[in-house]
A and B are shown apart, each in its own frame.
Chain A
Amino acid sequence: MTTLPPATRKKLGLVIDLDICVGCHACAVACKEWNDGGQFGPLPDENPYGAEPLGVWFNRVHSYEVEPAEKGKPAMTVHFPRSCLHCETPDCVTVCPTGASYKRAEDGIVLVDEDKCIGCKLCSWACPYGAREYSEQRGVMQKCTLCVDRIYNESFEEVDRQPACVMACPTRARHFGDLGDADSAVSKLVAERGGYDLMPEMECKPVNKYLPPRPRRDGCDSMPAKSVQGDNVDFSTASPLLRWMDKVLSR
């Protein structure tokens, strides 16, 4: 059913901390690894060892340079993981003609039933965030499942019932939880750090939130630039040992 549930009991999603993401792509690789063999796999690659490999990934990590308007302030590099935001009002679901796309009433996860998908690609056109990737080999659309086959998997220890991307992140830049519960750890994190929505003007109401980078330390100009003085090092005030070494090496 492509009619959206009026409300979902939970709003499961991710909180991604742009302050500490180092852009290592471990989330993307762990996601590919898990989902290739998981319930919603495989995630096929076309021409994987050829000149132009192409394949389905649910996670993509971009890197941006942010140039402040203020002159003299240093630019900031931000690594930016992008995946399905499990929106509250996802356009990708309502445009689906077959009912293959749906949003679960119990936890808000947006999924594709690959047995119903006709591969018309309209959902990928409707998603502003590029969350859906089409598999030419399988002829169906694929997307992040929030590791629905991990988070409820009772054969795992409780601590392991998390999406693969969250488990893999070496800097703990990714957090998983119920964003509909104001008392959950993720909701508190969002409140504390000013977590925000991507492209709110698209009115899809993303569940996933992004935490902004913390303000960078100022003072690039005042940094003692000993290391960049080059050849013009003044040894007259240096220690006797360094003065002697300078003398020997200068011969």
Chain B
Amino acid sequence: MRPAFSVIFFTVTSGCGYGLLFLLGLVLAIHPDSINRIDALIPLGTGAALVGAGLLSSTLHLGQPQRAWRAFSQWRTSWLSREGVASVAGFVPIIALVWCLWRGADADVLQALGVLLAVLAAVTVVCTAGIYTSLKAIPAWRNAYVLPGYVLTGLLGGASWSWLIGAWSGGAHAQPALMAALAIASSALKFFYWRFIDTAPAASTPESATGLGRFGRVRSVEAPHTEENYLTHEMGFVLARKHATRLRWISLMLIGAVPAILATCVDLSQSSAFAVACATLAALCVTAGLFVERWLFFAQAKHVVMLYYGGTRPHHV
């Protein structure tokens, strides 16, 4: 699949934003008393900004963005519509929390809004993953690794930004250990995901696509058109295997090893400047690594329609 930058930017930034909002929601739900106003408002604002930027970016992918409001209507069947509804609903606790934290509110209210924020953030990320896992035509997306992948990488992004904010503001919610655990879990999951998509046997073949398998092996001898069309442009994106392997390692380093090492190193020195440097580097690496991971998620996903164009066996040389 052709990696569209607007969609990659959307899934990465909104994933990080919802991860951050989810963690903040949890903190508010568990310790509504202990968190001070500024320590809650900064991650709330950052999370809302990341989510908002992602949503705006996703509309750039549309051919008719002025009609985007229609996307809230088909939540009964469409994960994309559900995601739209959940993402807008998520702004209700965000705005309510800004109001309550600014004006001061009871712990009970903060706790309830924290729970709502965490739930809606989680639901939105699950809906995002649902868009991809519902597509039977793209086997690399319709498997058991994709949903946990979106959840874990969202949490990892959120944890790295949370640590960054905590380190810069000297606040209480710096969680390098949590981020290190998520970094290891995310990179391990991606490793096994890639092994899965490389080795899983294909359910569809040129033979099943044409139904001519009973007569023998099917080979495309002439495409319907000499130039590209929408299908070959959108679904026929090919990434050379040698580049894929290198990009996978870069991504594993950036979202796994480097943040885990930084989270371990931060305890070596008591200096707060060192902690800020570690947190900043970790957030930068994780975010960059997620961009590489998401780019690969698209670039390496093969669509079965390419079977009609003879696009299985010669691919990925």
Contacts and interface: CB of A to CB of B under 8 A. Distances in A.
B214 interface: yes
Interface in B192-246: 203-204, 206, 208-212, 214-225, 227-231, 233-235
Nearest to A47: B227
B253 interface: no
B189 interface: no
A95 B78 contact: yes
Interface stretch (A149-157, A198-206, A228-236): A198-206
Given A61-B224, A77-B221, A118-B63, A198 B131 contact: no
Nearest to B206: A64
A201 B211 contact: no
Interface string B292-312: 000000000001110011000
Q: Which of B78, B135, B225 has the most CB of A within 10 A?
A: B78
A117 B68 CA distance: 9
A95 B133 CA distance: 11
The secondary-structure label for the interface of chain B is mixed
Contact of B208 (A61, A65, A119, A199): A199
A141 to B, nearest CB: 8
Contacts, number: 205
Interface string B26-69: 00000000000000000000000000000000000111110110
B315 interface: no
B63 A64 contact: no
B272 interface: no
A187 interface: no
Interface residues of B, number: 59
A246 interface: no
Contacts of A184: none
Q: Which of A68, A94, A98 has the most CB of B within 10 A?
A: A98
Interface stretch (B79-87, B117-125, B171-179, B260-268): B79-87
B219 A64 contact: yes
Contacts of B210: 64, 78, 80, 198
A90 B209 CA distance: 16
Contacts of A76: 215-216
B313 interface: no
A28 B229 CA distance: 14
A177 interface: no
Contact of B70 (A97, A135, A139, A201): A97
A140 B64 contact: yes
Contacts of B309: 62
B316 interface: no
A188 interface: no
Interface string A159-196: 00000000000000000000000000000000000001
A68 to B, nearest CB: 4
Contacts of B64: 117-119, 139-140
Q: Which of A53, A82, A199, A212 has the most CB of B within 10 A?
A: A199
A33 interface: no
A62 B220 CA distance: 8
Contacts of A3: 76-77
A4 B206 CA distance: 29
B137 interface: yes
Nearest to B79: A95
Contacts of B305: 127-130
A124 B214 CA distance: 29
B215 A99 contact: no
A64 B230 contact: no
Contacts of A64: 206, 210, 212, 218-221
Q: Which of B72, B80, B211, B223 has the most CB of A within 10 A?
A: B211
Given A54-B227, A126-B137, 9 more contacts: A18-B212, A62-B224, A68-B216, A96-B74, A97-B81, A124-B235, A140-B64, A199-B304, A204-B136
Closest 10 interchain pairs by CB?
A119-B63, A139-B63, A130-B305, A60-B224, A97-B81, A98-B70, A63-B222, A97-B71, A68-B216, A128-B137
